[in-house]
Amino acid sequence: MAKILLVEDHEEIWDFLSRRLKRRGYDVILAHDGEAGVQQARAGRPDVILLDMNLPILDGWSAARALKSSGDTRDIPIIALTAHAMLGDRDKAIQAGCDDYHPKPIDFSKLLTQIGAALGGTETPA
């Protein structure tokens, strides 16, 4: 079972995503700000990180850079979750170190496809 770290500060979103991901067979770890997300990633070694870009304490852009600059977390795929869906925002997320980008509102089936790709297509959740 793949472990997903969900770093999201809006309760409606983390509640919705964590419940749906758990139903699909994923083990979900939650963090509600960027600093806690970096700490959880280092401690829990998730298989994929879903990272909101607009977070308190440490924003997602800075958290992604911190995770990708550290030897123990640089290989963990990061999917940026953001309400910023303007032209160039995907490139900005990739430049910050994210491996993929998903604009809000969340399209859950598309997000599942992105998670599967981040896992290398090796895991099909129940």
Tens-digit pLDDT profile for residues 1-56:
899 999 999 999 999 999 999 999 999 999 999 999 999 999 999 999 999 999 99
CATH, range 16-83+92-118: 3.40.50.2300
The helix or strand, by DSSP H or E, that contains position 114, with its residue range, turns out to be helix 108-118
The tokens of 117 are what? 């790709």
Averaged pLDDT, 94-115: 95
Please report how the helices 89-96 and 60-69 are oriented relative to each other, as an axis angle in degrees rounded to 10: 40
For the chain, which residues make up each domain, given as ranges? 16-83+92-118
Q: What is the pTM of this model?
A: 0.93
| Contact assessment for residue 80 and residue 53, using Cβ atoms and an 8 Å cutoff | yes
